[in-house]
Amino acid sequence: MSELARRRDFSSSVIDKLRANFAGAAKFASGKACVYATGSFGRCEASEFSDLDLFIAGRSERIARSDGSGEDFGQKNLLNHLDEICVQAELIERSREMGFPEFSGDGRYLDHHSVYEFTNTLGTEKDDVANTFTARLLLLLESKPLVEDAVYEEIVQSVINSYWRDYQGHQAEFMPAFLANDILRIWRTFCVNYEARTKREPEDKKAGGKLKNYKLKHSRLLTCYSALLYLLTIYNSKKSVTPADALDMTKLTPTGRLEWLRGRPELKDANPTINKLLEQYNRFLETTNGQEADLIQRFMNKEDSHSYMAAASEFGDTMFEALATIGKGSRFYRLLVV
């Protein structure tokens, strides 16, 4: 069994347990909000050493002005603040019981974002400040619902509709430039954040930075570019991409998208490159199967570290080859490059 297959089995087993153990959170969130996993569990490639990354996303309703004008006064979250605290408490307690590490940032990312925030901060200066940008893109690119599936599906569809706001009247020739640019933006954001937050000394911190770089250039890159390859393939095939196409893309994991690409008859010439990507990614999963402290020790060895970073660079080269082979100089490919 490949490392990817083993991790998929492990992830599915743990996700089933999480869904059962989060029944208390589901009671407070019922019909109002969902909880979804991102990171290695969202990608269905978690191991025994993986952290748990969770987001809370909720429904909202309009508040009409009392003057009878019919205009909106604003939006109200259906999940009120006290119930939000109860959901967070359940997630924290049950995660601890299952032996997961504490949530990163002392839990500051375990926020509740409404679908209104996801769709109305899109492209604005508030998007980065409120962390809606990361929460929204990871929702579409690498997530698995753990609480309230129906709310999750509703929010995913609403976010897609926001990116497809100009679809009407352009159904026969719609290029998903808005979403593609946001995917490119989050990839560049991951890269910039790595540079800004990585320490270069002492040696163990430097090695830890190299480990993060190695993961960035595999898992984060695949999350973003597998989605772009998927959308590019659909566009080249149909000269348009529908909201339903985008929804189908969100239901696949990043490696699942590569396997979907491999099954497309029109991409026969790209199959060797796609197979190479899957093989390289499987080696990455084998390399990172361990405690972080042990992995850092391995990256402190200069010879091993050089070999790992060369593999990361090669993975990026292969992804570029896939993009160029599948793009075939189309208008959408041009947009992704320039």
pLDDT value of residue 213: 96
**Is residue 6 over pLDDT 80?**
yes
Please check the confidence at residue 73 and state whether its pLDDT lies above 80: no
Residues found in the chain: 338
Percent of the chain past pLDDT 70, that is, above it, reads 97
How far apart (Å, rounded) are the C-alpha atoms in residues 87 and 56?
9
Query: What's the DSSP call for residue 101?
Result: P
How far apart, in Å, do the first and last CA atoms of the chain sit? 41
Q: What is the pTM of this model?
A: 0.95
According to the model, what pLDDT value does residue 263 have? Answer: 93
Q: What is the mean pLDDT of residues 221-248?
A: 98
Predicted pLDDT of residue 67:
57
Q: Are 200 and 206 in contact (CB under 8 A)?
A: yes
- What is the pLDDT confidence band of residue 35, given thresholds at 50, 70 and 90? very high
* 251: amino acid identity, one letter: K
Cα–Cα dist 114/198, whole Å: 31
Is the pLDDT at 69 greater than 80? The verdict is no
Alpha helix stretches (DSSP H) within the chain: 3-21, 23-29, 39-42, 81-97, 115-120, 126-129, 132-141, 149-163, 177-197, 203-215, 221-238, 243-250, 254-262, 271-287, 292-300, 302-327, 331-337
Report residue 250 as tokens. Answer: 């969100």
pLDDT at 1: 82
| Residue 11 pLDDT class (50, 70, 90 cuts) | very high
The continuous run of DSSP H or E covering 55 comes out as strand 53-58
| Phi and psi at residue 216, to the nearest 5° | -55, -45
pLDDT tens for 95-133 read 999 999 999 888 888 989 999 999 998 888 888 777 899
Say whether pLDDT at 257 is over 60. yes
For the segment 242-263, the average pLDDT, to the nearest whole number, is 98
pLDDT, position 119: 95
Is residue 70 over pLDDT 70?
no
| pLDDT score, position 104 | 85
Half-sphere exposure for 83 (CA within 13 Å, toward CB): 17
Top pLDDT among 293 and 64 is at 293
- Write the DSSP symbol of residue 175: -
Question: Encoding tokens for residue 61?
Answer: 């309703």
| Exposed/middle/buried for residue 86 (C-beta within 10 Å: 0-12, 13-18, 19+) | middle
In the block, residue with structure tokens 């109305």 = 120
pLDDT cut 90: percent of the chain above it: 85
For residues 39 and 51, is the Cβ–Cβ distance under 8 A?
yes
Q: How far apart are CA 324 and CA 10, in angstroms?
A: 34
What pLDDT digit, counting tens, does each position of 136-193 carry?
999 999 999 999 999 999 999 999 999 999 999 999 999 999 999 999 999 999 999 9
φ/ψ bin of 74: left (φ > 0), alpha (ψ from -120 to 50), beta (otherwise): left
Torsion of CA 195, 198, 201, 207, to 10 degrees: -100
Question: What mean pLDDT value characterizes the chain?
Answer: 94
DSSP assignment, residue 291? Answer: -
